[in-house]
Amino acid sequence: MKRTLRHILTLAACLAAFAGCMKWDYGTTEDFQASERGLFITNEGNFQYGNASLSCYDPETKHVENEVFFRANGFKLGDVAQSMTIRNGVGWIVVNNSHVIFAIDVDTFKEVGRITNFTSPRYIHFLSDEKAYVTQLWDNRIFIVNPERYEITGYIECPGMTMESGSTEQMVQYGKYVYVNCWSYQNRILKIDSETDEVVGELTVGIQPTSLVMDKNNKMWTITDGGYEGSPYGYEAPSLYRIDAEKFEIEKQFRFELGDWPSEVQLNGTRDTLYWINDDIWRMQVEAERVPVRPFIEYRDTKYYGLTVDPRNGDVYVADAIDYQQQGVVYRYTARGELADRFFVGIIPGAFCWK
């Protein structure tokens, strides 16, 4: 929903009163017992169609199971599966336009609980077993939840946003501080004190920072998409930023060309190598002083949409949305860039989660 969102903002506003009225109709179920290690793929599905799904891939056997949430629980996942996080054997699936986060057993895929009544949830970040933050789109608040009780317990007001322009995205933590990038029609990284649940600082970057990660040196990395031509918020060449987490200062800015559309900054398991999408797949050491001139994996005249790196062996997985209508494909490459596997998943595979 990242790159396609700019085309549906007007429609979303018009449908706000009706969006995400998802009914969960229960049917027959299947029993699963997943392998010890695996890769979950959240497939967004089409906005307003309620056809989001969850896939699970075994890297050892190269076997994929699709629609595992629906098959295990007897009802559809909902409308726009945005992200997934695992904590203590429970997978938390954020379903954006159904305003819900499902908790599932990561071995059986069965639902064990859900948190409802969000505005438009994006990502969940755990501070403890009893406290987590949930970022939002079209809301100027970050929600505070109690995962053990499956309930919303409070809110963090984000300065400089209205309900219509509100956008908070991915989160990383350094000490007691949680950092979050503000993406849609925004240009900031916010700093939150997790003890007081208040925004205590903000850092201006380029237009629309799309993702946020923390490397081995406690440097944060964000990449901006620069907006789009005709955007009321502006249009500029995108950039990759390296930010010192302790000082909360920009250390380095790597500029791209106007018209580039970079996204999906990811790290390998040792957190010393960056990967991102900009038509091609790019790779760079975190200590590098300039971006590479040749891509790691070349563009295949398709829609590279999601990206992850196996934390154990460095294999790179690239999600291909194809035409945003049919089943997507995930390509698996070795750390040397050799194609190792390809498999079909659901519609618009957007995010990954390692088990």
Averaged pLDDT, 170-178 = 98
The answer to whether residue 16 scores a pLDDT higher than 50 is: no
Cα–Cα distance measured from residue 152 to residue 54, given in angstroms and rounded to the nearest whole number: 24
Sign of torsion over alpha carbons 289, 292, 297, 303: positive
Chain-centroid distance of CA 25 in Å reads 27
Give the tokens for residue 120.
Answer: 């438009």
Averaged pLDDT, 79-85 = 98
The answer to whether residue 136 scores a pLDDT higher than 50 is: yes
Averaged pLDDT, 36-58 = 97
The answer to whether residue 55 scores a pLDDT higher than 60 is: yes
Nearest alpha-carbon partner for 85 in 66, 68, 104:
104
Structure confidence at residue 302 as a pLDDT band (50, 70, 90): confident
Instruction: Return the pLDDT at 104.
Output: 98
Structure confidence at residue 1 as a pLDDT band (50, 70, 90): low
The answer to whether residue 3 scores a pLDDT higher than 60 is: no
Averaged pLDDT, 309-318 = 98
Model confidence, pTM: 0.93
Q: Can you point out the beta strands (E) in 256-355?
A: 263-267, 273-278, 280-285, 304-309, 316-320, 327-333, 339-347, 349-354
Name the β-bridge partners of 90: 87, 105
Would strands 141-146 and 151-157 be described as parallel, antiparallel, or unpaired?
Answer: antiparallel
Instruction: Return the pLDDT at 24.
Output: 54
Cα–Cα distance measured from residue 294 to residue 81, given in angstroms and rounded to the nearest whole number: 33
Instruction: Return the pLDDT at 23.
Output: 55
The answer to whether residue 6 scores a pLDDT higher than 90 is: no
Structure confidence at residue 35 as a pLDDT band (50, 70, 90): confident
Radius of gyration of the chain (CA): 19
Q: Which residues, in sequence order, are CB contacts of 151 under 8 Å at separation 6+?
A: 115, 145
DSSP letter assigned to residue 70: H
What average pLDDT does the chain have?
A: 93
